[in-house]
Amino acid sequence: MCIAPDDLQIEQRVDFLTRLRTARALVLRDAESFHEAATVLEYIGQVMQRGRGRGLGAYEEQIVALAISDGGAVDADIRRQFNVIREARNDIVHDGAYVRHLSGRLADCLVRLEDAVMCRLRRVGDVMVRNPVTAESWHLITHVRREMLANSFSNIPIYLPVAATPGWHLLTDRAIMRFLTSAPNPQERHNRLGSTIECAIANLAATELPPAQIFSPDDLIVDVAPRLEHLPALVADARDGSRLVGIISPFDLL
| Domain co-membership, 131 together with 231 | yes
| Domain co-membership, 164 together with 92 | no
Structure confidence at residue 92 (pLDDT): 55
Structure confidence at residue 97 (pLDDT): 64
| Domain co-membership, 79 together with 180 | no
CA distance 248 to 129: 6
| Domain co-membership, 249 together with 135 | yes
Q: Give the number of C-alpha atoms closer than 13 A to the C-alpha of residue 196, restricted to the C-beta side.
A: 7
CATH (domain of 145):
3.10.580.10
| Average pLDDT rounded to a whole number, residues 131-153 | 92
Going from the C-alpha of 147 to that of each of 13, 43, 139, 140, 141, the distances in angstroms are: 29, 29, 11, 11, 10
Neighbours of 105 (CB within 10 A): 18
CA distance 35 to 25: 14
Residue 89: pLDDT band (50, 70, 90) is confident
| Domain co-membership, 157 together with 247 | yes
| Domain co-membership, 158 together with 183 | yes
Domain boundary, last residue among 121, 155, 185: 121
CA 112 to the chain's CA centroid:
16
Q: Give the number of C-alpha atoms closer than 13 A to the C-alpha of residue 225, restricted to the C-beta side.
A: 10
Structure confidence at residue 212 (pLDDT): 93
| Domain co-membership, 115 together with 175 | no
| Domain co-membership, 151 together with 217 | yes
| Domain co-membership, 105 together with 145 | no
Domains identified in the chain, total number? 2
Domain boundary, last residue among 121, 140, 166: 121
91-122 residue pLDDT tens: 755 555 677 778 888 999 999 999 999 999 99
CA distance 143 to 134: 12
| Domain co-membership, 150 together with 175 | yes
Lowest mean pLDDT among 154-163, 200-209, 218-227: 200-209
Domain region containing 47: 5-121
| Domain co-membership, 152 together with 170 | yes
**Closest alpha carbon to 131 in 54, 215, 243, 228:** 243
Residue 241: pLDDT band (50, 70, 90) is confident
Residue 227: pLDDT band (50, 70, 90) is very high
| Domain co-membership, 102 together with 192 | no
